[in-house]
C-alpha cells in the first residue's frame, strides 16, 4: 500500500477518483484534484512547502515533486502529464502541459498553458515558458511552437490514456 503520511499537522488531500500506486509516497502538504494518478515509485514531498495539483494530473513512475523551504511552492494545473523520471521542483505548471520523461523543471519557473517540456530537458530556475512553446535541451530553450496536432495528439491523448490506465488498476 502507498505511503501517505501526515507531517507537521498536514495530511495529503485527494479529490475523487484518484489512483495511487502501492509504491508511491505522498507526504505532508499535498492537495490534488479529481481524476489524478500517482504511479509507481513517484514521490510527492510536501514537507518543506506545499504541492497543489488540479484535476486530471498524471504523475508517472519515479517522478519526484518537491518544493523549497520558505520560498517556492509547487503548483500544477489541470490536464498535466509528468513523464517517467521527471523532477518538478518549486515551480508553477499551468493547464494542458506535458513534462517529458526525465525532464527537470526548477524553482520559480512558470510553464504556461498548452506547452511542452521535452524529454531530458533541464529548465533552469526562474525560466518562463510561454503559452504554446516547446522547450528542449540542457539548459532548455524554446525550440518551436506547439501545433494543434501536438496539443490534441500528445497533450490531450496522454492525459486521457492515463485516466484509462488508472481505471485498469482500480
110 pLDDT above the threshold of 90: yes
Q: Which pLDDT belongs to residue 51?
A: 98
Domain count, the chain: 1
* pLDDT tens column, 54-83: 999 999 999 999 999 999 999 999 999 999
The CATH number that applies at residue 163 is 2.160.10.10
Query: Which pairs from 75-83 meet CB under 8 Å and 24+ separation?
Result: 75/51, 76/51, 76/52, 77/113, 78/33, 78/54, 79/54, 79/55, 79/155, 79/156, 79/159, 80/53, 80/54, 80/56, 80/159, 81/57, 81/155, 81/158, 81/159, 81/162, 82/57, 82/58, 83/119
Would you place residue 104 in the very low, low, confident or very high pLDDT band (cuts 50, 70, 90)? very high
State the Cα–Cα distance between residues 4 and 120, nearest whole angstrom: 29
Q: What is the pTM of this model?
A: 0.97
Q: Which residues, including other chains, have CB under 8 Å from residue 152's CB and lie 6 or more apart?
A: none
Looking at every residue in the chain, the average pLDDT score rounds to 97
152 pLDDT above the threshold of 90: no
Q: What is the mean pLDDT of residues 97-103?
A: 98
Pick from 42-51, 128-137, 150-159: least confident: 150-159
State the Cα–Cα distance between residues 165 and 170, nearest whole angstrom: 9
Q: Which pLDDT belongs to residue 1?
A: 87
Q: Provide the residue range defining the domain that includes 115.
A: 3-169
Amino acid at each position: 500500500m502507498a505511503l501517505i503520511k501526515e507531517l507537521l499537522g498536514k495530511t495529503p488531500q485527494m479529490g475523487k477518483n484518484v489512483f495511487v500506486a502501492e509504491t508511491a509516497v505522498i507526504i505532508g502538504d499535498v492537495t490534488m484534484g479529481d481524476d489524478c494518478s500517482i504511479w509507481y515509485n513517484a514521490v510527492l514531498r510536501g514537507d518543506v512547502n506545499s504541492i497543489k495539483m488540479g484535476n486530471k494530473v498524471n504523475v508517472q513512475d519515479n517522478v519526484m515533486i518537491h518544493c523549497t523551504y520558505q520560498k517556492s511552492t509547487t503548483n500544477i494545473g489541470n490536464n498535466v502529464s509528468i513523464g517517467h523520471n521527471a523532477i518538478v521542483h518549486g515551480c508553477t505548471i499551468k493547464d494542458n502541459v506535458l513534462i517529458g520523461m526525465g525532464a527537470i523543471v526548477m524553482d520559480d519557473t512558470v510553464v504556461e498553458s498548452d506547452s511542452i517540456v521535452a524529454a531530458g530537458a533541464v529548465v533552469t530556475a526562474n525560466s518562463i515558458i510561454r503559452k504554446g512553446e516547446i522547450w528542449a535541451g540542457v539548459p532548455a530553450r524554446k525550440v518551436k511552437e506547439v501545433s494543434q496536432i501536438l496539443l490534441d495528439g500528445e497533450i490531450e491523448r496522454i492525459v486521457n490514456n492515463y485516466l484509462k490506465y488508472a481505471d485498469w488498476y482500480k
